[in-house]
A and B are shown apart, each in its own frame.
Chain A
Amino acid sequence: MEYFARTQREFVYKYVVLLSDTDQFKHMSFANYLKLMFLATDALFVCCQEEAFLAEYQLKLLKSKMQFRRQTVAGDQTLIKINSADILEDSFTLLYTFIIEGSGDLVGLGKQSFKLVQAVSGAGAGLPDKMLDLLKPIMVDESNLLYKY
């Protein structure tokens, strides 16, 4: 774990759980954790969101999964760490580790696979350099990780 922490880069998105995120059971409902995955993904690719890029490409979600280990309540400062895996010609996978800042308690593990397509034709599009420049520095070999996503 120490080796992983010192050598592996990751993209980190921070979110403080708000009262409006929680339900009558006083914790955040499962759909909101998935929403956070989409928010964190948008934050990762914020430089790929100008009109010209969006007119040419569409990032399509193929599959999304998440497993939950711990509930969060209003005020919890949640860190969503993102790594990439399986980077191919027109597709890639993102791995999401949700932890509570400070305590390091694991909240959940997420995994989403995406395909980049041409916005007009829907045909697969090669990943442009501006995406690869974001994905490659945070790439991991999933089989070497402590957690199974």
Chain B
Amino acid sequence: MNLTSFISTKTMAENNKIFVYDKLRVFFKHTDYYGAVHPYNFLEWTSYVREAFFSEMCGDFRKILESPIKMMTAKIELCTLGNSSFGDDIEGRFTTAQIKKVSFDVVVRFYNRQKNMVVCETRHTLVFIDSATQRFAAIPDNIKDAIVFYKDAELEAS
């Protein structure tokens, strides 16, 4: 099974969708001394992918931003799996894991279209805080209602 059909299958499953952000391309500023994408860029792109998901899939995300409930990154991990170079088109594939009352994990796999492989994977934990009380807050409904459909099938199976 090739990766494209794998994704189609996953997208069809109601609770294991994958959100794809396909507006990433490697420019000179992303490359290092050796012409490879510096790993830092995948961290920056991780924030692009997650914010694109929230903007597109979580209703009125601006309203959430204006509320006292704030989102914080508690921890993040990055694994490099392959190189990318100038001109490559990168897809950020967003899924979720470990959905709890006040936190969940965001998994982003970066798929290089020219190299036909996942070149990097990041996973970070988001927690929600009520800025008025400085206590943990429940995941806002708009976000929770969206992320449950994007549970990572691979992580669920393992």
Q: Which A residues have a C-beta under 8 Å from some C-beta of B?
A: 25, 29-31, 34-35, 38, 54, 58, 60-68, 71, 119
Contacts and interface: CB of A to CB of B under 8 A. Distances in A.
B154 interface: no
A31 B78 contact: no
Contacts of A30: 43, 47, 73, 76, 124
A25 B131 CA distance: 11
7 contacts: A30-B73, A58-B34, A61-B80, A66-B75, A66-B76, A67-B74, A119-B34
Interface of B: 33-34, 38-40, 43-44, 46-47, 70, 72-80, 124
Contacts of B72: 68, 71
Given A35-B43, A68-B72, 12 more contacts: A30-B43, A31-B43, A31-B44, A34-B43, A38-B38, A58-B34, A61-B39, A63-B77, A64-B77, A64-B78, A65-B77, A68-B73
Contacts of A65: 75-78
B interface, by DSSP: helix, strand, loop or mixed?
A: strand
Contacts of A66: 75-76
Nearest to B131: A25
A67 B75 contact: yes
A62 B74 contact: no
A68 B40 contact: no
